[in-house]
Structure 1
């Protein structure tokens, strides 16, 4: 009951704060940020902050955004994407150019742009990650169940929007050893199964995570739980830094054809301490995103570096640390 009530309340608070933020004059936001930059320059930036800023923003000075829209022309839309970007863009002059793409992005844009997701690749510097759509992706309930209390089965629910999801349903939807199924319409004669809440997922010892249009939405709360995440190597990444996740360390790796799901479950049933070790590492990765002040600072520095590398701000001492 509380989860159903809490979510609408969070949305009301989120939009109320976002709309009130629009009423604050930009010079005040800018002055506050400059004071914060001065304080960071005196104290220094932590290794965690430096590493993460450079992970999200791989641009180097001289990046061109010729023809990009002005920040003041960021089209108002009452969406998480718009307000999440505006929270930080409002600190900088409205005359700055700010290329961005909202939604699920699975390719590297031609122009350096602020996006939510990007492919995991060496040459993805033009895709600058920020924490967009965060109310959807960065909320997770506490898992009340210990690993040994959970049902020794693997579970997955989702919509059929890519071959991997079709494959898992085709292989295991009728296998009684698992609780695998698609929601919505049937697929190739296989009937759909009922929606399962996050809490009910957490009653199972193994939870499968499969990417959708870009990343797997359920990955973050699975890794925050006391269940073991089973998934193929991710192809896309977000603010969650999926590209840093290691198979056998943060999750149990499913092969691309998903045929080793039964073997994985059988293996970890015989080796529960190995499962607990992976779960602890997954929980530790999730904990990196728990400090709100640090998350805010990193977001600001990512955008500061974007404007510096595109020649719109003269580099400051503090941001030279993360260049």
Structure 2
């Protein structure tokens, strides 16, 4: 099972690199502001644009701002491709700042990035849908909640303190199947190796724990028929984790997971409450499934940035 899942992942990556290389090099019509006027009247679209790129009086650029014409692949192809697919619609003379990777601080200059702290003062953190191949894996879960195992599950690496705490505390728990897959950390209990998404979907409760920034599994968990358990998120991405409501979209856990067993028992006794949260989570996910609308929002985010920085009039 592990070898097959690994093979599927490798094939998917090869296809991704080939297809995205073609996409980012295809000629496109330059962004025409007037053709997007109808979208700016859509309150939903406008609200999301303003969420990703918040209003501010001044949007200055750093000395390291890159010109679109000179924007080249550096370390991560995925981050580069996802950014290029947006900025290539604008004048090649425009410049922008960006930060790639797991960003958990607010930059000095307004910058395109994947993640930011959930805060009222993160205006310089301008979100784009970056590294989408890794973070935006939604699924069609065909297993009903009632037919799943009455247990909680988590698998992952334990580079962060909160993840190590989870596996240390619950390694031997009878109805909490947590384990890590880091063969270099065999000193930590509950080394259980790889578990596929399909296998995890056989559990009623799936735990989501932030890593360096957001939890990678959160998107597919919330699109499933399993109930998402997680501590209150500290970071957000294009998925707008800052808008998730505890008890409505997910079950909130204490930061030390001390209430994990208690929450499992509660939802075992109240499955209708679990189903309501799962429904709300699925509905939250549904807003990201319209690819054309997602593209429009991304272009309007970039348009707003270039306007704020004084490079685009209007």
The TM tier, using the shorter chain, reads: over 0.9
How far apart, CA to CA, are the structure 2 residues paired with 1:43 and 1:159? 41
How far apart, CA to CA, are the structure 1 residues paired with 2:297 and 2:57? 19
* Paired position in structure 1 for 2:54: 58
Long gaps (5+) in structure 1:
316-323
* Paired position in structure 2 for 1:74: 71
* Paired position in structure 2 for 1:15: 17
1:195 equivalent in alignment to 2:197? no
SS of aligned partner of 1:29: coil
In structure 2, relative to structure 1, the CA distance for the partners of 1:20 and 1:273 (3 Å cut) is: same
* Paired position in structure 1 for 2:89: 91
Q: How many pairs are equivalent? A: 309
Matches within 5 A, 1:1-323: 7-8=9-10, 10-25=12-27, 28-30=28-30, 33-34=31-32, 37-42=33-38, 45-67=41-63, 68-77=65-74, 79-185=77-183, 186=185, 188-315=187-314
TM-score normalised according to structure 1 size: 0.90
Long gaps (5+) in structure 2:
none
CA deviation profile, 1:237-258 (whole Å, cap 9, x unmatched): 0000000000000000101111
How far apart, CA to CA, are the structure 1 residues paired with 2:60 and 2:26? 30
How far apart, CA to CA, are the structure 1 residues paired with 2:188 and 2:162? 18
How far apart, CA to CA, are the structure 2 residues paired with 1:104 and 1:165? 16
Q: Could you tell me whether the CA contact under 8 Å between 1:59 and 1:306 is conserved in 2?
A: no
In structure 2, relative to structure 1, the CA distance for the partners of 1:261 and 1:108 (3 Å cut) is: same
In structure 2, relative to structure 1, the CA distance for the partners of 1:76 and 1:148 (3 Å cut) is: same
Distance apart, 1:47 and its partner CA? 1.6
Distance apart, 1:174 and its partner CA? 1.3
Q: Could you tell me whether the CA contact under 8 Å between 1:65 and 1:112 is conserved in 2?
A: yes
CA deviation profile, 1:201-257 (whole Å, cap 9, x unmatched): 110000000000100000000000000000000000000000000000000010111
Distance apart, 1:182 and its partner CA? 1.2
How far apart, CA to CA, are the structure 1 residues paired with 2:38 and 2:139? 38
Distance apart, 1:198 and its partner CA? 0.4
SS of aligned partner of 1:262: helix
- Higher relative contact order (CA closer than 8 Å, sequence separation 6+): 1
